[in-house]
């Protein structure tokens, strides 16, 4: 139980770090002497570092063991986050964000791989727990970061995050090593790794990039759509996002029941993508949009995403036992690349009109649905 809590906390820390910057761009820019929009390079540097490093670290964890990688990654994450809170130069802050991204690449994918290493049905439960930690971190961090910034400084938010990571690393060393070590020391082999040779892997990785990455890119524009179409103010939009995040966590926790009916993570994710496609088309087509009409559709979209995301992670985890770490890490890399690509594309599409976003949603969700078709079959 305690090791499950640690995996949850690792995912929570990475999730918190990913969205911590949202409400505090202005005070960071003011303190470091740059425009707030330049601070968004923090996000770019972080995401690219994860995307590029995750496959390497995942493969390495298959060869040397998960614990030998995740513990130093947590330490590096903690030190880099604290350093971000202490630097006075924007360029050095960018460097610390790159290092934080590298550390995250050795944390979140490995946490998912550790969850997937558990025997039988325990693997799915652990993956759901890690996904719930990630989602909860994303929900909570904007509010926590804003409060700490208002009460103290934006620097305190990063220092607290770093200190928490160091405590998690310490707990891993003293309590979890024996639990995980025997399961991992013999994992992997020295043979070359080609994910395309693993049945179903290519489609699952495409679904991570298009379905999850693309879905996040499109979902990020819901707030702007509600503001333009329904006239909601910023504060209320923030509350909507928080509420939808809670619905996503409930979806995470409902996966076990859904899996018992559907039978596989691939089937669950494919069904979730169909629901997300329908909801996105409804939200971004037409001129009129009222909050009361949109609320149940958005809740259904969030619920489907909350169920589908850990289902896809579980599907990837079961594709290969010996290469699980590499596959989970490549999936995480594909998701971050997808977020970077499709977020920009969705923003450009929205500038042309909301129906263009609906068209983009049809493409990203449609490709993901096709990619998850049964292996060896045409449909």
166 or 197: which leads in pLDDT: 166
Look at residue 37 in the predicted model and tell me its pLDDT: 60
* Eight-state DSSP code of residue 23: G
**How high is the pLDDT of residue 186?**
44
Q: Is the pLDDT of residue 139 over 70?
A: yes
Q: Are 247 and 306 spatial neighbours (Cβ–Cβ below 8 Å)?
A: yes
For residue range 280-307, list pLDDT tens digits in order: 999 998 767 788 888 999 999 999 988 9
Query: Which region among 31-40, 71-80, 335-344 has the lowest average model confidence (pLDDT)?
Result: 31-40
Whether this prediction's pTM lies above 0.95 is answered by no
pLDDT at 164 over 90: yes
Question: Which residues, 6+ apart, have CB-to-CB distance to 15 below 8 Å?
Answer: 133, 134, 135, 136, 137, 138, 141
The residue that leads in pLDDT, 379 or 46, is 46
Residues 368, 12: Cα–Cα separation, whole Å: 26
pLDDT value, residue 188:
43
Taking a C-beta distance cutoff of 8 angstroms, is the pair 103, 70 a contact? no
Here the tokens at position 133 are 């930690």
Q: Give the model's confidence band at 72: pLDDT under 50 very low, under 70 low, under 90 confident, else very high.
A: very high
Q: What is the pLDDT of residues 235-277, one digit of tens each?
A: 677 677 778 888 888 888 888 888 888 778 899 999 999 999 9
pLDDT band at 204 (very low <50, low <70, confident <90, very high): very high
CA distances from 197 to 55, 146, 193, 320 (A): 16, 46, 9, 11
CA atoms within 13 A on the CB side of 177: 10
User: Vertex 24, ends 300 and 248: CA angle to 5°?
Assistant: 15
With cut-offs at 50, 70 and 90, classify the pLDDT of residue 96: very high
pLDDT above 90 for 187? no
> In angstroms, rounded to a whole number, what is the distance separating the alpha carbons of residues 84 and 98?
10
- State the average pLDDT for the chain: 82
Interior/surface letters 265-297, b for 16+ CB within 10 angstroms, e for the rest: bbbbbbbbbebbbbbbbbbbeeeebeeeebeee
- Set out the domains of the chain in order of their start, with CATH numbers: 2-184 (1.20.1250.20), 196-371 (1.20.1250.20)
Query: Whole-angstrom Cα distance, residue 351 to residue 13?
Result: 33
Backbone angles phi, psi at 118, to 5 degrees: -70, 150
DSSP 66: S
User: How many angstroms separate the first and last alpha carbons of the chain?
Assistant: 41
CA distances from 69 to 62, 74, 184, 247 (A): 10, 9, 11, 33
Contacts with 38 (C-beta within 8 Å, 6 or more apart), sequence order: 29, 90
In the predicted model, is pLDDT for residue 1 greater than 70? no
Find the mean pLDDT for residues 58-85: 88
Looking at residues 177-202, what average pLDDT do you find?
Answer: 58
Q: Which residues contact 35 (CB under 8 A, 6 or more apart)?
A: 29
Residue 200 has pLDDT above 80, yes or no: yes
Q: Tell me, what's the pLDDT at 181? A: 47
pLDDT at 231: 78
> Each residue of 34-47: pLDDT tens digit?
776 677 677 777 87
């Amino acid at each position: 139980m305690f090791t499950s809590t640690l995996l949850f906390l690792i995912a929570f820390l990475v999730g918190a770090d990913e969205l911590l910057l949202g409400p505090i761009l202005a005070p960071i820019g003011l303190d470091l002497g740059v425009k707030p929009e330049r601070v968004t390079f923090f996000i770019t540097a972080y995401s690219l570092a994860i995307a590029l490093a995750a496959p390497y670290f995942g493969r390495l964890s298959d060869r040397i063991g998960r614990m030998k990688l995740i513990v130093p990654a947590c330490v590096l994450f903690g030190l880099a986050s604290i350093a971000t809170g202490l630097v006075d130069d924007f360029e050095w802050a960018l460097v610390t964000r790159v290092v934080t991204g590298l550390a995250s690449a050795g944390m979140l994918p490995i946490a998912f791989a550790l969850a997937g290493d558990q025997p039988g049905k325990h693997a799915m439960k652990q993956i759901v727990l890690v996904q719930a930690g990630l989602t909860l971190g994303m929900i909570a961090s904007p509010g926590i970061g804003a409060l700490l910034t208002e009460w103290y400084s934006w620097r305190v938010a990063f220092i607290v995050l770093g200190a928490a990571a160091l405590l998690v690393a310490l707990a891993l060393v003293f309590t979890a090593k024996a639990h995980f070590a025997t399961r991992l020391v013999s994992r992997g082999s020295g043979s070359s790794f080609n994910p395309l040779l693993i049945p179903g892997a290519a489609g699952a990785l495409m679904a991570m990039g298009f379905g999850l990455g693309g879905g996040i890119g499109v979902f990020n524009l819901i707030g702007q759509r509600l503001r333009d179409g329904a006239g909601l103010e910023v504060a209320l939009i923030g509350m909507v996002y928080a509420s939808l995040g809670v619905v996503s966590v409930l979806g995470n926790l409902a996966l076990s029941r859904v899996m018992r009916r559907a039978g596989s993570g691939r089937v669950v994710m494919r069904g979730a993508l169909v629901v997300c496609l329908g909801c996105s088309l409804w939200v971004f087509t037409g001129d009129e949009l009222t909050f009361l009409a949109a609320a149940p559709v958005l809740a259904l979209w969030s619920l489907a995403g909350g169920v589908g995301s850990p289902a896809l992670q579980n599907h990837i985890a079961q594709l290969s036992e010996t290469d699980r770490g590499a596959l989970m890490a490549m999936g995480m890399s594909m998701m971050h690349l997808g977020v970077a690509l499709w977020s920009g594309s969705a923003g450009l599409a929205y500038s042309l009109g909301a129906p263009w976003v609906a068209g983009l949603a049809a493409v990203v969700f449609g490709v993901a649905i096709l990619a998850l078709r049964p292996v060896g079959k045409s449909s």
